[in-house]
Amino acid sequence: MSAAATGRELVFGINTAQVPPAPVNVNILSPQGQLVPSSVEPKPDGFTGKFTPLQDGPHKVDVTYAGAPVPHSPFTVTAMPAPTTSDASKVKAYGAGLATGTVNTPADFSIDTRMAGPGGLGLTIDGPTEAKIECFDKGGGLFDVRYWPTEPGEYTTNILFDDKPIPQSPFRAQVNPAKMVDVSGVKVYGNGVQPTGTPHAVSVCLSVCHTLYVV
């Protein structure tokens, strides 16, 4: 069960990248069992679902793929009155990019401010070198963040809401070097790479080989 603010748009992802193309449908029921308007939009790895709860209480989110309910569907989202004052302790940040990463590979995480009330979001990432940062506003208080570490080491992510740190901030991610190509299965062999001893021994070997060739 997750929480949401009444009157604010909710956005969620539906990943279908690992399954064949098929129709995806979303139906939302209010606490009174009424159908809530929703939309489904395509994206590279599947679809994005959106709806706005207009009543306080639990909403049923039914997601089907090819006419069959997806795992754990229907989901329950409880809408509560939107906070009128800011509360940084209600902001949530999650995702692999807050804990680990690989050089020259995008590191991703998400920030959820839906239950934190009004306020501005602040974000800095410090590391061995400056990392490019992109922040995508998904609407309704949800944000996706991506950064590109270019050197190995520790990267510190500071997240502020209304100028106050959110829980667990600063986050510390250990970025590892890019994985080297595995050459353990490559073997080199032949006379040209075998030990040949002293220069004199090489000379003798070549002489013998030449003699054999002439004969």
Encode pLDDT of 24-78 as tens digits: 999 999 999 999 999 999 988 899 999 999 999 999 999 999 999 999 999 999 9
* pTM: predicted TM-score of the whole model, two decimal places: 0.59
Fold match flag (2-80 vs 88-176): yes
Cα 53 to Cα 3, 28, 135, 187: the distances in Å are: 11, 9, 25, 63
Encode pLDDT of 128-143 as tens digits: 999 999 999 887 788 9
- Does domain 88-176 sit in CATH 2.60.40.10? yes
- Does domain 2-80 sit in CATH 3.30.360.10? no
Encode pLDDT of 165-206 as tens digits: 999 999 999 999 987 656 667 677 666 666 555 444 433 333
Any idea where the domains of the chain sit in the sequence? 2-80, 88-176
Tell me how far apart the alpha carbons of residues 196 and 205 are, in angstroms, rounded to a whole number: 9
Consecutive H or E run containing 210: helix 199-214
